[in-house]
Amino acid sequence: MKRMLPAICILLVAGVLQLTAQVNPYKDGMPGVTGYRSEVLAEVMIQEDKFNRLAEAIPADKYTWRPAADVRSFAEVFMHVSAANYNLYKLVGTPPPAGFDVKGFEKSTTDKAKVVATLKDSFAHAKKAITAMPDADLEKSLDWFGGKNTERGILLFVVRHAAEHLGQSIAYARVIGVTPPWTEDMQKKAPEKKEAPKEKQ
């Protein structure tokens, strides 16, 4: 356990450095949105920043790469997240864009430029949906997977869903040798190791 403590401390410091190097809604704030919605919006903004930066960092010829035949490729993961951003927020009052069809959406393109543009547009849609919904609707109940959930719970689910796929995308990137951009930021800012002082004779 004692050996693990320094590693845990390094990870915590790294997390703070990563946050300060990127979008930081906790510091910058979100005008016009307060309470629970502001907390959800903060997480969505951070996920948006990481997804967009990672999508840009993946080479175009790797967008069809997948670690196994029965799992999603890079393009499919990014498009799947985009589909959720478009489709799930209809449950809290914001319908998807005209012409959007969730069926087959994640396999609709492998072109990097189109995938990146779709990802960006979908997060803009998500932020608009969170901003538009009234706080009074958070406790509204609706049918959910054979049971019940609130609109508050739907927002939580959407954030968790995206976080799962962000982790998946990071693992994919590491496998193909791509370092997440925010990790590169941290590495560039890390002070160079100083030589240990020599013992006095």
Structure confidence at residue 1 (pLDDT) = 46
Is residue 65 exposed (0-12), middle (13-18) or buried (19+ Cβ within 10 Å)?
middle
Q: What is the pLDDT of residues 15-70, one digit of tens each?
A: 443 444 467 888 877 767 889 999 999 999 999 999 999 999 999 999 999 999 99
Structure confidence at residue 187 (pLDDT) = 85
Pick the CATH number of 47-184 from 1.20.120.450, 3.40.50.720, 2.10.25.10, 3.40.47.10: 1.20.120.450
Which of 9-13, 23-27, 145-149, 183-187 has the largest mean confidence?
A: 145-149
Q: What is the pLDDT of residues 110-129, one digit of tens each?
A: 999 999 999 999 999 999 99
Show me where the domains of the chain are located. 47-184
